[in-house]
Amino acid sequence: MRVLIRAVGMVSVVLVCGLAAMMGSPLSAGGQGGAVQAVDTLPDSPMTYGAITATFGRDGSFSMAGQGWPPFKGTWTALKDTLELTTTGGEKGCEGPGSYLFRRDGVRLILSLKSDSCGTRSLILDGSTWVPAGTPVVNPERRITRAPGGARGALPPATSSAGSWPSFRGVEASGLARNQNLPDTWDVASGEHILWRAAVPGLAHSSPVVWGNRVFVTTAISSDPKATFRKGLYGDGDASKDRSRQRWVVMALDKLTGKPLWERTAFEGEPLNKRHIKSTYASASPATDGRIVVASFGSQGVVAYDVNGMLRWKVDIGRIDLGAYDLPSVEWGPASSPIIWKDLVILQVDTQADSFLLALNAATGETVWKTERDELPSWGTPTVAETTAGAVLVTNASKFIRGYDPRTGKELWRLGGSSKITAPTPISTGDLLIIASGRGPERPIFVVKPAASGDLTLGAGKTNSDSVVWSKTGRGSYMPTPLALDGLLYVLGNNGVFDAYKIATGEEVYRQRLPVIGSGYSASPVAADGKIYLSSEDGDMLVVSAGPTFKVLATSTMGESLMATPALSEGVMYIRGLNTLFAIGNKAR
């Protein structure tokens, strides 16, 4: 999520407030216009922060570099409590000075922005904590605490699962529904094929879920009426400045009319984590099994209500710090959604500090198992695929794609070669597992046999093995989850490039740029009755014919930004816009 920039120009950086005191005696520097005087009071051993290393040489030289970042090189001088750096590096606009306040915490140096016109430099230094290279990382102990709700007794019995769309992208995240008979076009202004519309307050990218006669949605309602997010195709990795007080809400609506059935405030207060400028404080979709509905609000906690709106339990999983893998101060917030499998609520929690899978008792919220993972932050939702080899819990993450036994959390296999940022959810079809991610340079697609075991990582130059049916690089999607339908795999890029491949072999069937691009695509495709529905961030819904020939059948405009993935249930498509939940279908059902 970052545009890499070539180094240009000379940069003067000022670090203010007591660096000399932290390092020992007062520091000296060369005179005006003179050569830099060697100073031996700054340690010349490397200091690290994330994937960045900085060195203050005894001869006055300075360097700062990290993989994927423009290098900064030059000299440093010190006057009293001010450290001045003159360097080459950074983009246009980095020629001016930058100032940072800092404080000492043992061997750690903590910087915070005072003023800096250089975006790359301030992104690295603001909020950074530097330690001597090789310093062991000690993560604080994570405490998971449960609080029972007011409701007691047995959960209400689940109605039939027919027509349900129980979690993100439906059953096993497939995105598929049969016999829907949906219209190809609709008109929000005239009301044509709009069965109902319901206002949903707040900001949220979470998708609606459906069971029985209820539609469930979540949202985060800010105390700041101007709180927003930034849609579009861009490489900025900034966190939102929005730290306003929020109400995290779970809502149930009548499936046939859109009328509110109940609304509950799960949490209220200031956010405990930041969010990406394109994200919200309610980006994870809820999940239901017809008895309870579970919502994860990241650092605020996980909450479960029964389908009648009675609080059953809350679980505090601690602060969830997710962001740039190579720059820990850049925080983006969580988005992985909970899933419910049998009597377990399963969560994938991959953070900057510690990473783990967590299975909770659906009825009580008690921990059933917890599996630690050595992982970078990730945003994909886990999937339990029911295969001939048994149930496999599949997770998409940067270091490894992994398969687990969902009953116990035991790892079954792992596969390396993924992107450093992973968001799409694993899917399954025809006894094959499909996992993709879209950050360069890897951008892989993997098709894996579920009965695999051990380390499946492919050797250099290899694209398949006994366990990996095929793989590709450079073709994975960044945000949208792929779609498997009738032997073809459809992959939607954020930039509107739409691919189709044969699932059995990986052969490309077509690669097309959609006629509507605009701000791009973040929502995942869904499909019914030979038609694929693609939601654009600008609010356009494209209907594309499934099959080997690319054909756009229709385009309808919702009038609101579309970031959430639609839900399909019994002849109705539930589309969440920026402010509205729409029910789309034929009048006679």
**Per-residue pLDDT reduced to its tens digit, 168-189:** 999 999 999 999 999 999 999 9
pLDDT digits (tens, 9 = 90+) for 443-481: 999 999 999 999 999 999 999 999 999 999 999 999 999
User: Domain boundary residue among 132, 166, 183?
Assistant: 132
Q: What is the pLDDT of residue 58?
A: 84
- Report the C-alpha gap between 562 and 383 in whole angstroms: 24
- 186 DSSP assignment: -
Tell me how crowded residue 165 is: count the other CB atoms within 10 A of its CB.
25
Report the DSSP pairing between strands 411-415 and 454-455: parallel
Q: Read off the CATH number of the domain in which 548 is found.
A: 2.130.10.10
Q: What is the pLDDT of residue 264?
A: 98
Question: What is the per-residue burial (b if ≥16 Cβ within 10 Å, else e) of 9-35?
Answer: eebebbbbbebbebbeeebebeeeeee
Report the DSSP pairing between strands 72-79 and 61-65: antiparallel
Whether residue 156 has pLDDT greater than 80:
yes
The residues near 320 (Cβ < 8 Å, ≥ 6 apart) are: 273, 298, 299, 333, 334, 349, 351
State how many domains the chain has: 2
Q: What is the pLDDT of residue 83?
A: 73
- Report the C-alpha gap between 319 and 299 in whole angstroms: 4
Q: What is the pLDDT of residue 481?
A: 98
Determine if residue 27 is left, alpha or beta; phi over 0 gives left, psi from -120 to 50 gives alpha, anything else beta. Answer: beta
Angle (nearest 5°) at CA 99 between 97 and 102: 155
Contact 261, 253 (CB under 8 A): yes
User: Domain boundary residue among 108, 132, 156?
Assistant: 132
Please report whether residue 138 resides in a domain: no
pLDDT digits (tens, 9 = 90+) for 355-382: 999 999 999 999 999 999 999 999 999 9
- Average per-residue pLDDT for the chain: 91
Q: Read off the CATH number of the domain in which 117 is found.
A: 2.40.128
Same domain, 168 and 237: yes
Please report whether residue 259 resides in a domain: yes
pLDDT digits (tens, 9 = 90+) for 189-211: 999 999 999 999 999 999 999 99
- Report the C-alpha gap between 178 and 568 in whole angstroms: 9
Same domain, 312 and 204: yes
pLDDT digits (tens, 9 = 90+) for 314-328: 999 999 999 999 998
SS (H, E, C) 324-346: CCCCCCCECCCCCCCEEECCEEE
Please report whether residue 2 resides in a domain: no
pLDDT digits (tens, 9 = 90+) for 144-154: 999 999 998 99
Question: Percent of the chain scored above 90 by pLDDT?
Answer: 76
- Report the C-alpha gap between 276 and 421 in whole angstroms: 14
Please report whether residue 140 resides in a domain: no
Please report whether residue 160 resides in a domain: yes
Provide the whole-model pTM. Answer: 0.91
Q: What is the pLDDT of residue 11?
A: 40
The residues near 459 (Cβ < 8 Å, ≥ 6 apart) are: none
Q: What is the pLDDT of residue 41?
A: 54
Question: Percent of the chain scored above 70 by pLDDT?
Answer: 92
Distances in whole angstroms, Cα of residue 333 to Cα of each of 51, 278, 282, 574 = 20, 10, 10, 26
Please report whether residue 40 resides in a domain: yes
**Encoded tokens for 489:** 């795999």
Handedness of CA 273, 276, 279, 280 (dihedral sign): positive
User: Domain boundary residue among 100, 132, 164?
Assistant: 132
Angle (nearest 5°) at CA 204 between 200 and 429: 110
Contact 307, 252 (CB under 8 A): yes
Please report whether residue 375 resides in a domain: yes
The full length of the chain comes to 589
> Where is average pLDDT lowest: 57-66, 265-274, 296-305?
57-66
Same domain, 391 and 416: yes
Same domain, 86 and 196: no
Same domain, 158 and 84: no
- 38 DSSP assignment: P
**Encoded tokens for 551:** 């054909």
Same domain, 154 and 99: no
- 204 DSSP assignment: -
Same domain, 170 and 304: yes
Please report whether residue 467 resides in a domain: yes
Instruction: Name the residue range of residue 50's domain.
Output: 10-132
Same domain, 152 and 117: no
Q: Which residue has the tokens 């509205």?
A: 580
Same domain, 438 and 568: yes
Q: Which residue has the tokens 């010349």?
A: 44
Mean pLDDT of the 495-518 span: 98
Strands (E) in 139-211, as ranges, are 145-148, 176-177, 194-199, 209-211
Contact 439, 420 (CB under 8 A): yes
